Structure 1
Amino acid sequence: MAIFYYSDFKTEFNSSNFGDDINPYLIRQLFNSSIIESKDICIVGIGTLLNKKNVDRLSPYTKKIVFSTGVGYGDVPSNFDESWEFVCVRGPKSASQLGLSADKAVCDGAILLSDFYPIIAESDKKIEKIFIPHLKTHWAAGRALRKIVERAGYFYLSPDVPTDFFVEKVSIAKVVVTEAMHGAILADTMRVPWIPVSIHEHLSFKWEDWFSSLGLQYENYRISPPIWNPAKNDLKRVIKLPYQFSKECLVEAKFRLLLHTCQAVLSDEAVLKSKKISLYNSVEYINKKYGDGMAN
């Protein structure tokens, strides 16, 4: 399958990650099978993928088509050859980094998920509030965080659960607090208010890029002090228990106050609709130009 997305979590750690794993599903829904099955053409999909390391990985393909991808996690080559076509990127910061015109800055393609999953009416929402950590934060601090946020009344939703389960839980929530950017993107397109937070993992560039694409003012709320999973060594765990407990209490208090002190975000419905139209126009262009499986 000629779709490029970040699959290292799967290949190196045998772990799913919602923001990456939506690619095979969504791209199959959007693009002609002749493109997807091509050995020469590669669709560069959803994610923060445009950096030198990934560009080098794609050199075997004769044509690389960029669809709603973001810049980040490394240097970006200053020049791309004719084998690259940037149909659209995540936002204006990515476009600027790549030297593209402003019209190429559309949005993250994950906003189209709400056209393939049902949007739940407010009266049918069953979860008061959800917390979504970044996958790496889940690995490093998930056992502690799950306990903390559940005491504070949140549903703890890790990004490594099956895609349908992840979408379902976000869809039936009244508000989402998320460190994972695609948790925010999904919440926004499913019309669930959301609050962006950082604990361990936060790349401001990609968040600002996506915020700007929807005309939103960038903001992020830091949850501190840093919290980690308890030590596995019994002696270390006993020694650090009072310190761990005090930190957990502070973090729990912040989660309890969060919804009272921070304004939840939701993009303008008209802006979101406009971005979807632009993405579908990009899909139509790609299908018409490359649908026969031959790069022009």
Structure 2
Amino acid sequence: MKLVFFRGKVPNFGDELNLHVWPALLPQGFLDEDESELFVGIGSIIGDHLPQASRKYVMGSGYAGYMGLPDVHDGSWDIRFVRGPDTARTLDIDPRLSICDSAVLLRAMELPKPDHSVGIGFMPHYESLERGDWAEACRLAGMTLIDATAPVDVVLSQIQGAQLLITEAMHGAIVADALRTPWIGARPIYGGHHRKWHDWAGALEVDVRLNPLKPTSVLEYYIGQTGRGGRLGKVGRFSASPFAALPNGVLTAGAAKHLQKMASLEPQLSSDARIAEVTERALAAVDAFVRGRVAAA
């Protein structure tokens, strides 16, 4: 059974969690490279891109509209649980299968020591790291940049040790909430990433507040105004050119001041009872799946 998850040009914390969580929780040798069976893991990975001929086992994944909607009732899907109620409604499956994003299973694992030097952290979406200058914005704001492309252990240590996490990356919020670090949601500059936040938050009965970010570059400003998030051609080249240095600097300074204002907002956390409940249900779902597979072997 092969683990499948999204992998782009650079590593991304939310997706790379798959390589951290599943080898720790599943029996040794449970996962292999046999593509006749797919273990559909953490992330917005449910879609019609997965081969119809493969048997697909879903463990806390979500649907975000990045890919086409699959027919999960065609006999090739075995859904043990999904990220949230929006995914369950969209797929037309039993709402009781809406448990939580499976990154919540970090609560059942041994974790790296917290990095208490972080103070207030800001975690941009990994795409924003290359489209803007969030390192400079964080420096100006007196915050720690938490890099979604850094090794998972480093990011986990920083999120655990932060006094507060402001995050544009959804898995920053998911992990902060799981590990009980207060968080403030930042509305992703690219609108295509908004829907999945409400899916996850619905599972935890959290009325998520996504607060607007200010762009740090001409390119981010353009994305925010147009909603475009793919190939950005001339705008991207201009934003990276010397001609854009002045407007980019002005935008970055404004973004830094806005981050400071965001830090004074009321942070969010799901209830202790709810996070404990969904963790227990997710663990039970994984355990039942493993026991069923072992018994059938």
When normalised by structure 1's length, the TM-score is 0.86
Task: Kindly indicate whether residue 161 of structure 2 is the aligned counterpart of residue 172 of structure 1.
Answer: yes
Taking the TM superposition and a 5 Å limit, the aligned residue runs for 1:237-252 are 237=242, 239-252=243-256
Match for residue 58 of structure 2? 66
Residues 288, 115 of structure 1: CA spacing in aligned structure 2 closer, same or farther, 3 A cutoff?
Answer: closer
Match for residue 90 of structure 2? 97
Match for residue 84 of structure 1? 77
Distance 1:246 1:60 in 2: 53
Q: What is the alpha-carbon root mean square deviation over aligned residues? A: 2.5
Task: Kindly indicate whether residue 133 of structure 2 is the aligned counterpart of residue 160 of structure 1.
Answer: no
Residues 120, 193 of structure 1: CA spacing in aligned structure 2 closer, same or farther, 3 A cutoff?
Answer: farther
Residues 149, 91 of structure 1: CA spacing in aligned structure 2 closer, same or farther, 3 A cutoff?
Answer: same
Q: Deviations over 1:260-279 (max 9, x none)?
A: 2x221111111000001110
Match for residue 218 of structure 1? 208
Query: C-alpha displacement at 1:164, in angstroms?
Result: 0.7
Taking the TM superposition and a 5 Å limit, the aligned residue runs for 1:140-151 are 140-141=131-132, 144-151=133-140
Aligned with 1:36: secondary structure? coil
When normalised by structure 2's length, the TM-score is 0.85
Q: State the one-letter code of the partner of 1:71.
A: Y
Aligned with 2:263: secondary structure? helix
Query: C-alpha displacement at 1:233, in angstroms?
Result: 8.0
Contact 1:35–1:291 (CA<8 Å) still a contact in 2?
Answer: no
Structure 1 residue runs without a partner (length 5+): none
Taking the TM superposition and a 5 Å limit, the aligned residue runs for 1:263-274 are 263-274=266-277
Q: Deviations over 1:191-250 (max 9, x none)?
A: 10011113533522210000100000022111124625898889952x434322322222
Q: State the one-letter code of the partner of 2:83.
A: R
Match for residue 43 of structure 1? 39
Query: C-alpha displacement at 1:156, in angstroms?
Result: 0.7
Contact 1:52–1:74 (CA<8 Å) still a contact in 2?
Answer: yes
Query: C-alpha displacement at 1:97, in angstroms?
Result: 0.6
Aligned with 1:71: secondary structure? coil
Distance 1:137 1:235 in 2: 14
Residues 234, 84 of structure 1: CA spacing in aligned structure 2 closer, same or farther, 3 A cutoff?
Answer: closer
**More displaced 10-residue stretch of structure 1: 249-258 or 165-174:** 249-258
Aligned with 1:249: secondary structure? helix
Distance 1:187 1:234 in 2: 32
Residues 281, 288 of structure 1: CA spacing in aligned structure 2 closer, same or farther, 3 A cutoff?
Answer: same
Structure 2 residue runs without a partner (length 5+): 221-235
Distance 2:20 2:254 in 1: 40
Residues 293, 131 of structure 1: CA spacing in aligned structure 2 closer, same or farther, 3 A cutoff?
Answer: farther
Q: Deviations over 1:10-59 (max 9, x none)?
A: xxx2x211111111221122223454137232210010011222x3xx33
Residues 247, 110 of structure 1: CA spacing in aligned structure 2 closer, same or farther, 3 A cutoff?
Answer: same
Q: State the one-letter code of the partner of 1:83.
A: S
Match for residue 184 of structure 1? 173
Q: State the one-letter code of the partner of 2:207.
A: Q
Contact 1:34–1:293 (CA<8 Å) still a contact in 2?
Answer: no
Match for residue 229 of structure 2? none
Q: Which runs of 4+ in 1 moved over 4 A?
A: 118-121, 228-236
Distance 1:266 1:97 in 2: 26
Residues 236, 20 of structure 1: CA spacing in aligned structure 2 closer, same or farther, 3 A cutoff?
Answer: closer
Match for residue 22 of structure 1 among 17, 21, 28: 17
Distance 1:235 1:20 in 2: 27
Distance 1:119 1:37 in 2: 26
Match for residue 137 of structure 1? 128
Match for residue 261 of structure 2 among 257, 264, 274: 257
Distance 1:104 1:198 in 2: 27
Match for residue 32 of structure 1? 27
Match for residue 107 of structure 1? 100
Residues 257, 3 of structure 1: CA spacing in aligned structure 2 closer, same or farther, 3 A cutoff?
Answer: same
Distance 1:118 1:235 in 2: 38
Aligned with 2:16: secondary structure? helix
Distance 2:244 2:194 in 1: 32
Query: C-alpha displacement at 1:60, in angstroms?
Result: 4.3
